[in-house]
Amino acid sequence: MIYTLTLNPAIDQMISVKNFTLTATNKAVDQYQILGGKGVNVSVMLKHLGVNNIALGFIGKDNQQQFEDYLKEQTIKSDFLVVKGQVRVNLKIKDLVNNQETELNCLGFSLNKDDEKTILNWLKKKLKKDDFLIISGSTPMGTSTTLYQKIAGVCAKQKIAFAIDATKANLLPTLQYRPLLIKPNLAELNEIFNTDYQFDNQKAVIQLGQKLLAQGAQNVLISHGKEGSILVTSKGSYYANSASGKLVNSVGAGDSMVAGFIGSYLKTDDPKTSLQIATAAGGATAFSQGIGDLALVNKLKSQIKIKVIS
C-alpha cells in the first residue's frame, strides 16, 4: 500500500486581485479555497491517476471533520492523529494584471515531544514491509529538526521504500536512508548548495543533482515551472518540457509531480515514462482550481517530450 504523510496540513485561500498593492486596500475579484497540505495533495493526485493510497499525518481538532469529509469525497482513506488546535490557513494572492503570485504561509497547531513519539510508534505499527511512504511538506511548530530523519530511519529498519519532498534542513538527514525520490525545485536546490544556477545551465544543475545521488537519493526530480524539469538518476539524466496552458494556481503542482512520478515508477520502473506523467500531472494542477483531473493529465501528456541529456 502507498501511504502519504502530512505532518502540517493546510487550507490554502486563493485570492485574485487586480494590481495588488502593498499598504493599500485590495479588493478580491475571485476567491476559493483548497484543502490540503503537500501529502494530502499527493494523495488526491494519486487517486485521480487510479492509484489507491491512504493519507496519514496530524490534523488539528478544529478542522478534523472538514478534512475527513474532503478526503471521503475523493474516495481516499485517511487516518490522522488528532491534536489540539487548528490547521494553518495560507493566503495565496494572485495579481491578475501583472501575473504575479504572493504567498503568506501562516501558523497552525504545534507539536511536542510526546506527539513525535506517538507518530513514530504509530508508523512502526502501521507500516509493513513492501509498503511505500511519501513524506511531504513542512513540519508544525514545536517539531524537532530530527523528526523526518527518525521517520526515514523507521522506513529503512522496516524495509519500507519512501520518497520525500521537503526543504534542506528536513531533507538532507534523510538521504542516508536512500529515498527513491526527492523533488527539490530549482530554488530549493540552489538553497541546499548555496548556489545561484539558472535552468539553462543544465550541466551545473545536473551536477548538483548528482551530488544528492552521492549522498543517497536514488532519483532527483528538479522542477522549474514553465521552464520544465530535469530528472537525475544513476543511469542518466533527462529533461522534460512543461505543457502549454493558462496558469490558474501553482498550489499542489509540485505535489502532483511527486504523485505522477511515484504512481508510474512503482508500476513501470521506467524513469522516462514516470517523468512524462509527473510533468503532465504537475501541469494539470497548475492549470486547474485544485488538483488536476485524469482527463487533463492524459491530454497534456502528449505535449511532454523527454530528452536524454546525459
Q: Hey, which residues are catalytic here?
A: 255
How many residues make up the chain in this entry?
310
Residue type, 210: Q
Contact 111, 58 (CB under 8 A): yes
Strand partners, 136: 6, 165
Alpha-carbon span 72 to 280, nearest angstrom: 25
E strand or H helix that includes residue 259:
helix 253-268
Q: Which three cell numbers stand for residue 131?
A: 509498503
Task: Find all residues with CB under 8 Å of 23, minimum gap 6, and list them.
Answer: none
In the chain, how long is the greatest CA-to-CA distance?
55
Residue with cell 478544529: 62
Q: Which three cell numbers stand for residue 127?
A: 507500516
Contact 223, 291 (CB under 8 A): no
**DSSP assignments along 131-150, one per residue:** -EEEEES---BT--TTHHHH
Angle at 22 between CA 20 and CA 23, to 5 degrees: 130
Residue 37's region, left for phi above 0, alpha for psi from -120 to 50, else beta, is: left
Q: Which three cell numbers stand for residue 102?
A: 504572493
Within 32-161, where are the H helices?
A: 38-48, 64-73, 113-126, 147-157
Q: Which three cell numbers stand for residue 215?
A: 549522498
